[in-house]
Amino acid sequence: MTAPGRVMLALADAGEAADLAAFLGRLIHYDRAAAVRLQVGGGAVAVFGRPPSFEVLAVRTSRLAVAAAVGGGGDAGAGAGAGELDVTVSAGELLEGIEEAAGVVVVPAAVTGPPWAGVLPPRGGWQQVPGLPEPEAMRAAVAAAVAEFRARDEALAPEDRTRAARDRIGREIWSRTLGETELPLRAVHAAQSLGFLRLGSAGAGGAGAVALLAAGGWLRLRTPYGSIVVRRAGLGVLSVAPV
């Protein structure tokens, strides 16, 4: 039963609910206390997260059947009408509120959002940028970078294998750009680790294909399963070793 004041979102089908649950589960794997910003509009719900291991914004968009406010009270979304919701919540509590078989999501109470949640990429104005390699080549680039990190880490003398030394190696490797694009490798690594660059992802060309987009100072790696967004100047540096 939905608590008074909570919003229940009806997703288009059970598959949308399962994919959203998988996304939230991956975010929690990297940060058990993760918060996400949730926005409803245009017949869809967009969930933004920032896995700390990659220093990127990850976005999963799910199609909605309906969006309705349930009850009154003062919890998240109280007073929000259909198609009108913007709230930051606990990723874990949002995951608990997903009923996959029914294809519905109960939005939990709002939390104080982390700083990144106040600065999201634009909704419109995205233009495709040429030069993005095929998904297979992107996965190969990530595998090569992970192998390089491990080799360089293992080559360190025991007394030199400090967090700072490993961070320096990580920053050097994951700040490299992909091919002829401006997209940092850490964005591609994040896409693969979060399940966005899975086998079967389409290359450039068709609707829903993997593509690189730009809007203002932002770059967006779009796939059929979600997007990774970074600032052209970077959202920060990789501060942990790859896993």
Determine the Cα–Cα distance for residues 87 and 89; give it in Å rounded to an integer. Answer: 6
Of 110, 145, 160, the residue that ends a domain is: 110
- Residue by residue, what is the 3-state secondary structure of 59-70? EEEEEEEEEEEC
Residues sharing a CB contact under 8 Å with residue 199, sequence separation 6 or more, in sequence order? none
Q: Write out pLDDT tens, residues 14-35.
A: 999 999 999 999 999 999 999 9
| Structure confidence at residue 6 (pLDDT) | 74
- pLDDT tens for 148-206 read 999 999 999 999 999 999 999 999 999 999 999 999 999 999 999 999 998 665 555 44
Beta strand 57-69 with 85-90: parallel, antiparallel or unpaired?
A: unpaired
Whether residues 131 and 227 fall in one domain: yes
Q: Model-level pTM?
A: 0.84
d(CA 160, CA 192): 30
Q: What is the CA radius of gyration of the chain?
A: 19
The pLDDT of residue 201 is 59
Is 140 within a domain? yes
DSSP β-bridge partners for residue 35: 90
Could you tell me the CATH number of the domain that includes residue 80? 3.10.150
Q: Is residue 206 part of a domain?
A: yes
Tell me 123's DSSP state.
S
pLDDT of 239 > 90? The answer is no
- Domain assignment present for residue 55? The answer is yes
In this structure, the answer to whether residues 106 and 131 fall within a common structural domain is: no
The region of weakest confidence among 28-42, 65-79, 209-223 is: 65-79
pLDDT digits (tens, 9 = 90+) for 93-135: 999 999 999 999 999 999 998 999 999 999 899 999 999 999 9
DSSP H or E segment with residue 229: strand 226-231
Beta bridge partner(s), residue 10? 66, 104
Q: What is the pLDDT of residue 113?
A: 86
Can you give the pLDDT at residue 128? 95
Instruction: Answer whether residue 75 is part of any domain.
Output: yes
Q: Which domain holds residue 152?
A: 127-231
**pLDDT value of position 53:** 81
How many domains is the chain built from?
Answer: 2
118 domain residue, yes or no: no
- Look at residue 202 in the predicted model and tell me its pLDDT: 59
